[in-house]
Structure 1
């Protein structure tokens, strides 16, 4: 049973700058390092296309870009694990979160941007995200405002 948790921060920068802080490769590697060192992605950034979220060893998960509106919305659907250079068959643990969503929304108001993140997680993982996501958003804020 998935539960949805949400985080937000107000950033003193236009949404275009926040978008770059989130999704440009070097910036992404910076702010996602709080989750796992070496975090990076592989994708062509096409809506409906695949994206791999990987660690420094090239392992992680494969997902789909559900919706993308540049500078406003990025929505992922997480599908399964990626290991040894390929998508892994769904096991019981993966089935518990397969299909979960992760959604980033940017709303600009008078030069400031409200960044909101909603993500589905399995019970027990919310504590991890409640600890790490605020640290990640702090890094996004720093990257955006510099």
Structure 2
């Protein structure tokens, strides 16, 4: 796996960007480029389980919140996949990438927020994420800059 980064500069305070990233109403909006109707199930506490799911088949990813510093940093450690509501943490397919991290860092730069997303990414997913992340970050920017 290779660490891949995506970045956006947003004309809004970190607190606003944080709320857009993890808010109940905004999360499905900015994650639509990955899967229309995306949803997340978690209590957002450090160490907690996270289910990133689609709206059609209740399928997606299982992770845990590895670290959290409100308004500054969120780290997810991916543990497995979910298929039709059933978690897979042990198959060979999952073991090939389990343990990968996805980190979000928010930094104040000249009154704006720089959002840096770092992912451990397998070659087979690079094209997908290289297309989806710019669209997702554009939506985070749009939602965060709304008054």
State the TM-score bracket (shorter-chain normalisation). over 0.9
Q: Which residue of 2 aligns with 1:90?
A: 90
Q: Which residue of 1 aligns with 2:51?
A: 52
Measure how far apart 1:48 and its partner are. 0.7
Q: Which residue of 2 aligns with 1:65?
A: 65
Question: Contact 2:89/2:95 (CA < 8 Å) preserved in 1?
Answer: no
Aligned partner of residue 125 in structure 1, secondary structure = helix
| Residues 124-146 of structure 1, C-alpha deviations (whole Å, 9 max, x = no match) | 21111111101100000000001
2:137 is aligned with 1:143: no
Once the two structures are superposed, the pairs formed by residues 1-146 of structure 1 within 5 Å of their partners are 2-56=1-55, 57-146=57-146
Measure how far apart 1:97 and its partner are. 1.1
| Residues 25-80 of structure 1, C-alpha deviations (whole Å, 9 max, x = no match) | 11110010100111110001110110100000211111010001100000000000
Partners of 2:33 and 2:68 lie apart in 1 by: 24
Structure 1 residue ranges without an equivalent (≥5)? none
Question: Contact 1:96/1:122 (CA < 8 Å) preserved in 2?
Answer: no
Q: TM-score, normalised by structure 1?
A: 0.95
Partners of 1:61 and 1:124 lie apart in 2 by: 16
RMSD of equivalent CA atoms: 1.1
Measure how far apart 1:89 and its partner are. 4.3
Q: TM-score, normalised by structure 2?
A: 0.94
Count of residues in Structure 1 that have an aligned counterpart in Structure 2: 145
Label 1:128 to 1:11 Cα distance change in 2 as closer, same or farther (>3 A).
same
